[in-house]
Amino acid sequence: MRLDWIPRPRLSHSKEDERKTVAICGSLQYRQDMEAAAQAWMRSGHHVTIPQPHNIDSITLMRLNFQRIDRADMVLVVNPNGQITRGTVAQIAYALHHGKPVHYTHNPA
């Protein structure tokens, strides 16, 4: 797994209000990449949530993802090679509709 693409978060530890809650979104097939990105952001003092695999229907799973986005200050889309699935597109649209900044690990294809 390549780690050079992970955005390097910047945080001045002197200001508590600069800490962000980051909702990581993306296909669960990129779970290892999401965990690596989460570790990088957490090391910089941010709170990070990543999607958890559940044995539930897709509608309930999407609702859980929307709730994570609601609680976040920003969204980081993990999209190796620029790939974005339909479910991730829905999460991006939801985040943008609710005024959340959306960042990508790679330029969308």
Dihedral pair phi/psi, residue 106, rounded to 5°: -140, 155
Domains in the chain (CATH in brackets) are 20-104 (3.40.50.450)
Q: Which residue has the higher pLDDT, 21 or 10?
A: 21
Predicted local distance difference test score (pLDDT) of residue 17: 56
Half-sphere exposure in the Cβ direction for 107 (13 Å, CA): 1
- How high does pLDDT run on average in the chain? 86
Predicted local distance difference test score (pLDDT) of residue 104: 93
21 burial (CB, 10 Å; 0-12 / 13-18 / 19+) is middle
Q: How far is CA 74 from the centre of its chain?
A: 8
Is it the case that residue 80 has pLDDT exceeding 50? yes
pLDDT in tens, 11-38: 444 455 578 999 999 998 999 999 999 9
pLDDT in tens, 94-107: 999 999 999 999 98
Predicted local distance difference test score (pLDDT) of residue 1: 40
One-letter amino acid at 106 equals H
DSSP-derived 3-state class of residue 66: helix
Is it the case that residue 8 has pLDDT exceeding 70? no
Dihedral pair phi/psi, residue 61, rounded to 5°: -60, -40
Q: Report, as an integer, the average pLDDT of 47-63.
A: 90
Predicted local distance difference test score (pLDDT) of residue 16: 53
